[in-house]
Amino acid sequence: MNRENETLWTLKSEYVHRLAKQGLRVDNRDAFEYRDIEVTPGYVTRSPGSALVKLGNTTVLAGISMDVGTPFQDTPNEGVIMTGAELVPLASPTFESGPPSEDAIELARVVDRGIRESKAIDLEKLVIEEGEKVWMVFIDLHILDYDGNLFDASALAAMAALMHTNVPKYEDEKVIRTESSMKMPLRRVPVETTFAKIGDTLLLDPVLDEEKAADVRLTIATTDDGYICASQKGGSGALTVEEIEMIIDKSFEKGDFLRGILKDNMKG
Amino acid sequence: MNRENETLWTLKSEYVHRLAKQGLRVDNRDAFEYRDIEVTPGYVTRSPGSALVKLGNTTVLAGISMDVGTPFQDTPNEGVIMTGAELVPLASPTFESGPPSEDAIELARVVDRGIRESKAIDLEKLVIEEGEKVWMVFIDLHILDYDGNLFDASALAAMAALMHTNVPKYEDEKVIRTESSMKMPLRRVPVETTFAKIGDTLLLDPVLDEEKAADVRLTIATTDDGYICASQKGGSGALTVEEIEMIIDKSFEKGDFLRGILKDNMKG
Amino acid sequence: MNRENETLWTLKSEYVHRLAKQGLRVDNRDAFEYRDIEVTPGYVTRSPGSALVKLGNTTVLAGISMDVGTPFQDTPNEGVIMTGAELVPLASPTFESGPPSEDAIELARVVDRGIRESKAIDLEKLVIEEGEKVWMVFIDLHILDYDGNLFDASALAAMAALMHTNVPKYEDEKVIRTESSMKMPLRRVPVETTFAKIGDTLLLDPVLDEEKAADVRLTIATTDDGYICASQKGGSGALTVEEIEMIIDKSFEKGDFLRGILKDNMKG
Amino acid sequence: MGGKSEVPLLDKNGKRIDGRDLEELRPVKMEVGVLKKADGSAYVEWGGNKVIAAVYGPREVLPKHLANPYKAVLKYRYNMAPFSVDDRKRPGPDRRSIEISKISREALERVVMLEYFPNTMIDVFVEILQADAGTRCAALTAASLALADAGIPMRDVVAACAAGKIDGKVVLDLKKEEDNYGEADMPIAISPRTGEIVLFQMDGLMTKDEYMKALRLAVEGARKINEIQKETLKDKYKITNLSGGDNNE
Amino acid sequence: MGGKSEVPLLDKNGKRIDGRDLEELRPVKMEVGVLKKADGSAYVEWGGNKVIAAVYGPREVLPKHLANPYKAVLKYRYNMAPFSVDDRKRPGPDRRSIEISKISREALERVVMLEYFPNTMIDVFVEILQADAGTRCAALTAASLALADAGIPMRDVVAACAAGKIDGKVVLDLKKEEDNYGEADMPIAISPRTGEIVLFQMDGLMTKDEYMKALRLAVEGARKINEIQKETLKDKYKITNLSGGDNNE
Amino acid sequence: MGGKSEVPLLDKNGKRIDGRDLEELRPVKMEVGVLKKADGSAYVEWGGNKVIAAVYGPREVLPKHLANPYKAVLKYRYNMAPFSVDDRKRPGPDRRSIEISKISREALERVVMLEYFPNTMIDVFVEILQADAGTRCAALTAASLALADAGIPMRDVVAACAAGKIDGKVVLDLKKEEDNYGEADMPIAISPRTGEIVLFQMDGLMTKDEYMKALRLAVEGARKINEIQKETLKDKYKITNLSGGDNNE
């Protein structure tokens, strides 16, 4: 699929490895330092909630759509979350049109799990009529520029969008999109932090060149009240138990950093 | 996709251009003359409405299917129109099996717009129970032989079929297909006329060889009460404002000619 | 599609033909002898009904799923049967992932017809509320190892599964899968017998090598009360009327043999 | 085969709902060379069925990896127009049409001289414009004519017909209501020169006697259909040697 | 074009619901080089529309058999983000976006010098992030800028605009409510140097006079859009020769 | 992970609903060489899970453009039979099975000596015949056995196991009800020789202490699974050097 020159990538990969051995990175960051992060909530003014996140050059737009539907049979008293991701070909020469790739599916599912498993959304407050009518929360991730670490950027965009989402009114069997009945009911603030292992070196927030050179990737989602709520290893490399433990510690620390950015954004 | 010989087409195209420059056509027609038109309404005797149209060698069969469904939320007091076109591979060596091509989609949508935008069908009369149950009018265009100008042939076939359509009875929650409750309620008679520009020459009703040689195509839908209700440019060429104005005039004139054929057919 | 060596297959085919001429088979069976048959009903203990059938090396797992749905409009007082077959790529180097192949579709439809046309299932007993709610019986055939004659193995597995199926309880608009309301209501026991013609020789139950060498295949479904309920010819060869008559006679005889196996299984 | 015998399909004189005798075919009309762009084509009207067939080829095989160095690849596409049946059929192949296409292709593979055209593809497309039971037989009958019209060499012109069982009687050539409410249907096709069966299906409930009677009746029906095919090709080409039939231009 | 005139779209002073005059454009903002990975890119905000376009290429043609030895293959993909409209749009192309992609590609084929890059492919991708009527015009306008930003040689920079009819009046540049409840819409695109029409559609009901008035109005609108395009490219490159515009790095 | 603690998952003695202790595996049975047509195969029964795996290859890569001149392409297809779960699963890949296939493939890429077979493809197919939580672990465990059975050289035999949290306790190897109503699940796989983690996921809510405890417990579980794998292969081949295991014929 990758149409770029194979040899070029091999050279780049060797360069990234050489740097990593010396504790260095292609953009001179520290090992556990995030790139610059910009969060623009409410970017899509006409949608009930949205946020544009720039993590260095990686750009993700998360948009929330609200609709009324029937709950799942086994959770009649809960609203429904659906998360999708489109790696639109605009964002990278390696993304293609067509049905979602396995990468897009994994991304959507890992972002979804961070939100779902942490019970970030109070789904019981999204019930209109038990067993019959509930709010469906669609979280759509639109990747606009791909320079590595879609997981953290997407999870951050999704959470920022949810924090700025207004639930529309529902009256006389109709959704009134111009009026709001409440803020999206949130209970926790999960964020995701992704680490790459290059040789024996662990790095936070890999850029694309690092991501491609890495053997393995680990994403950890943490909550503001001290829980881990999701994890996902990617890539054909391996991790030791000790590495995972070290990553968990860093993940809580960096998670609080990301939550700080979200918090600042809520005020601003 | 085109499996025919590229060189052959280049030669044919040059020939068509040479003729056009002299005001001539491959089949000796005048620039704004239609090929012979045959309309056979009621061709599919078992369907509520249908018509076979032969425009020279181009052959299109339009069939109407009627079913009961729920109206769209924003038009609770209107029936529903759905138009589809199948460029079945029987009709041309260049048509392929599979999901509708962009050509088939464009054709269906342009025919649909002619009918929909002119409000040819009185959709309010197709309501059985407001907001709950309305008639769905499926207009299906089946292309049987493709020798150019599918737009005009298809629009004509669709309109002829609608003019001969009987709306079935609906009793006790069931469609009784063997009985008719009314004629399809029609208010206007839109038809479409298509022009090709070859070099600087404008032609009506291009045959396949002309269509392929043409730089640009313009389809204009007009109504019997003096309105233009749809237009569509196709092809990578361009048109001037003056050319469009000239085409509009011709389009009304030729539209009346086509409506004359439909009218004759209603009597016969 | 077949990735195996073409030359090898030609040689095998010639060998099979040579044997057939002498009345012999690759596995030393008689012409109208089945391979060893093992039926394991209830293989998938958590499903309402299932059976694993081994016909020589050919292995088919049939599983029944029960759900509540709306009946078809024209049969408001009947439950619904749906039969599917997956030729999963695990079972053969020639099976591929993706939508069902024409072979999988033919297999599912021929097994379905044997059951449907014989009225083996008393569909009226599967009505919960006439016109509104009926049991849907999904018969899914999962092919695990493909060594020829999927038709007989699949039909046998489907019937064995149905004979061991418990219809769940339905109370308060819910399916209670842990409780049974009745055994699957059965009226007849259809089985299918498949014959291959190699040169002029007719054989029962072809193995894969015979199936590939064969010119034509004929499957006959018979019932325990002396009816033929389905037939299907496959392959580009031809059959005479006399051959068909001879196959019918054998089919009843072998059908009783297969029904004997099913019966033994019901006791055991 | 619903077998709901509430609807009587035979009157007290043993006549069928359209007045036919038990062993009588519906009216059949055939025409070849009906399409301009196809290499060969045919139209068949058979009772309430209206069917049109086109043949393209031998031509380049697409996708290329399907090419066979020993013979032509034959493709067959049976397709119903959305308006051909009462309940609109959604465009595109469904399971039924995929199965019919498969068995029809296998029937034609018996007679088409594919070995004459290695590394090519011959496409047969059939469109059901109006359906009244027996469409697969009408389609295959039309396809054979279209192949002859395209000048494709064939060992024989395949002809098809169905027999079935209604109100307990074996009858020829079921129409829609008979198919819906009858007890069995058996569509077949033959290679008329040898009398061999090249397409064969049956569903419903029949004893062996009924089954063999239906089979023989269907073969006879197919022979009658073949006579009409031959007349049609003769009228068109004024020759009797069918497989030498020339192109339609 | 619902034409349900219950909703008044013009006030007693002839002003539109957003306070515009009949022949007034909505506010338009443009920016080029907004994406890092694309060879060229542009962002266009036009009333409530937010649109981003990217260009990749000339690059290898995939699948290979689509390659043309005489010119580059141009592809155009118009795509709406699920949250860009009130009722969530399911991801993936629908019939509407396939049609828009086709006519937009045809418009650009008129100006892009495809003959310079045989056997290659030039991909134009446009994402509608927020929709407020006129998205196809905004998309094509952004696509032209992205092509220029990618340094693809063009005869001209295509500019688009729509005119339409609301409450019986011909107006420029419909917004969403005007499109929903108005009487006609006519999106067009021009090659500004020649004034030729390269994209042209119309739906709704118009007399010939209204139609020609709308056409001329839309052409004028597109010319204004083109001025903004030129300013945007000038600001970025500090040069006036657009087709000689260099890459965005 | 519903976390609906209305359903008690531990009794007053701390026993689980199936009588197990907190750190106890469900009964596990393994068998290799269970299929005739596959190059390697294995069957794993693990609690209520029934899983069958097959390996084909190294063989020709299809489609060809996916071939890699430096190593074999590994494919992994996790598929659930429609009847394997209470609510019938529609045939074909869904998002969940695509994700599981991806991470399972990545786990195996760590150990399979792909570099020995450039320009080929190794296909691993796993069918879930009955599901009772932990299917991805059972599937990967079976897949490793099938690879060994096919004689594919491997650095190690991957073994998988899950740990989780129910009623506030960290436990090994959740069954279905525990997965549905428990608080967290952590499926992992290891390369037993090095103890490295090659598959790793977690969802639910856990403190760091619980998390690390679960991780260590799951690793221990996977080691026990690996012992059974080794016994199974030894029984079959009467040899201890697994990667030298011969074909199943």
Per-residue pLDDT in tens (0 to 9) along chain D, 249 residues: 554 556 799 999 999 999 999 999 999 999 999 999 999 999 999 999 999 999 999 999 988 889 999 999 999 999 999 999 999 999 999 999 999 999 999 999 999 999 999 999 999 999 999 999 999 999 999 999 999 999 999 999 999 999 999 999 999 999 999 999 999 999 999 999 999 999 999 999 999 999 999 999 999 999 999 999 999 999 888 654 444 434 433
Place F244 in a pLDDT band, splitting at 50, 70 and 90: very low
Q: Does E99 touch chain B (CB under 8 A)?
A: yes
Q: Are E45 and E31 in contact (CB under 8 A)?
A: no
Task: Check CB contact under 8 Å for D87 and B67.
Answer: yes
Instruction: Compare CB distances from D106 to C235, C245, C252 and report the shortest one's residue.
Output: C235
Interface test with B, best of E202, E206, E210, E217 (most B CBs within 10 A): E202
For chain E, positions 2-61, list CB contacts with chain A under 8 A. Answer: 35-38, 41, 48, 50, 52-54, 56, 59-60
- What chain D residue is nearest to B140 in terms of C-alpha separation? D82
Q: Is B88 on the interface with D (CB under 8 A)?
A: yes
Q: Which two tokens stand for residue B253?
A: 């004139």
Distance between CA A177 and CA A165 in Å, rounded? Answer: 12
> In chain D, whose CA is at the least distance from the CA of B3?
D60
Q: Which chains share 3+ C-beta pairs under 8 angstroms with C?
A: D, F
Mean pLDDT over each residue of chain A, to the nearest integer: 95
Return the percentage of chain C with pLDDT > 70, whole number. 97
F58 preceded by cis ω (within 30°)? yes
Which residues of chain D make contact with C121, given a CB cutoff of 8 A?
none
Number of domains in chain B: 1
CA distance B220 to chain E (A): 9
Query: Does D120 contact chain B (CB < 8 Å)?
Result: no
Residue A4 placed within a domain: no
Q: In this predicted structure, what is the pLDDT of residue E128? A: 98
Whether residue E201 lies within 8 A of chain B, CB to CB, comes out as yes
Does F64 contact C at CB distance below 8 Å? no
Q: Under a CB-based contact definition with an 8 Å cutoff, are residues A238 and F110 in contact?
A: yes
Domains of chain D with CATH codes: 28-243 (3.30.230.70)
Chains in contact with B via at least 3 Cβ–Cβ pairs below 8 Å: D, E
What is the phi/psi pair of residue C96, to 5°? -125, 155
Question: A210: Cβ–Cβ under 8 A, 6 or more apart, which residues?
Answer: A16, A25, A26, A148, A196, A198, A203
Contact present, E203 and E151 (Cβ < 8 Å):
no
Residue A14, domain member (yes or no): no
Q: Is C159 contained in some domain?
A: yes
- Kindly calculate the radius of gyration of chain F based on its CA atoms and give it in whole angstroms: 18
Residue A124 CB neighbours (<10 A): 13
Task: Report the residue from D98, D196, D206 with minimal CB separation from C105.
Answer: D98
C-alpha count within 13 angstroms, C-beta hemisphere, residue E53: 34
Task: Kindly state whether residue A174 falls inside one of the protein's structural domains.
Answer: yes
Q: What percent of chain D has pLDDT over 90?
A: 89
Rounded (10°) CA dihedral D95, D98, D103, D107: 160
Q: Nearest CA to CA, how far is A244 from chain E (Å)?
A: 32
Q: Rounded to whole angstroms, what are the CA distances from D129 to D48, E101, F141?
A: 10, 32, 54
Mean of pLDDT values over E209-217: 98
CB contacts < 8 A, A to F, total: 95
Which chains reach chain F with 3 or more Cβ–Cβ distances below 8 angstroms?
A, C
Please list every residue in chain B whose beta carbon sits closer than 8 Å to the beta carbon of residue D48.
45-46
Residue D246 burial class via C-beta count within 10 angstroms: exposed 0-12, middle 13-18, buried 19 and up: exposed
- Best mutation target among C57, C83, C144 (most F Cβ atoms within 10 Å) is C144
DSSP F27: P
Tokens of F145: 């056995």
Contact list in E for residue A83 (CB cut-off 8 A) is none
pLDDT recorded at residue D2: 52
What CATH number corresponds to the domain at position B91? 3.30.230.70
| Chain A neighbors of E88, CB-CB under 8 A | 65, 67, 138, 140
Whether pLDDT at B54 is above 50:
yes
Q: Does a structural domain hold residue B65?
A: yes
Range of A38's domain? 19-266
Average pLDDT, chain F: 93
A-chain residue closest to E176, CA distance: A46
Closest Cα in chain F, distance from residue C143 (Å): 10
In a domain, C24, yes or no: yes
pTM of the model: 0.95
Quote the pLDDT of residue A41.
Answer: 97
The pLDDT assigned to C114 comes to 98
Could you tell me which chain A residue has the CA closest to the CA of E41? A90
Check residue E247 and give its pLDDT.
41
Best mutation site among B193, B224, B236, B251 for testing chain E: the one with the most E CBs within 10 Å?
A: B236
E90 close contact with B: CB closer than 8 A? no
The verdict on a CB contact (< 8 Å) between C147 and F37 is: yes
**Minimal C-alpha gap between C55 and chain D (Å):** 24
Find the residue in C nearest to D101 (Cα).
C102
pLDDT in tens, B7-45: 888 899 999 999 999 999 999 999 999 999 999 999 999
Interface touch E54/A43, C-beta < 8 Å: no
Q: How far is B94 from chain E (nearest CA, A)?
A: 15
Across the interface, whether the CB atoms of D102 and C223 are under 8 A apart is answered no
Of F93, F184, F81, the closest CA to residue F135 belongs to F81
Among residues E215, E222, E214, the alpha carbon closest in space to that of E194 is found at E222
Give one DSSP letter per residue of B97-111, joined into a string: SSSPPHHHHHHHHHH
Site from A86, A90, A139, A166 to mutate, E interface, most E CB atoms within 10 angstroms: A90
The arrangement of strands across the sheet holding B201-204 comes to B201-204, B191-198, B216-222, B228-234, E196-206, E184-191, E159-166, E169-172
Q: Is residue A50 part of a domain?
A: yes
A10 inside domain: no
Least confident of A53-62, C55-64, E73-82, E237-246: E237-246
A near D: at least 3 beta-carbon pairs less than 8 Å apart: no
CA-nearest residue to A137 within chain E is E88
Which of B50, B57, B93 shows the shortest C-beta gap to D83?
A: B50
Predicted local confidence at residue B10, as pLDDT: 87
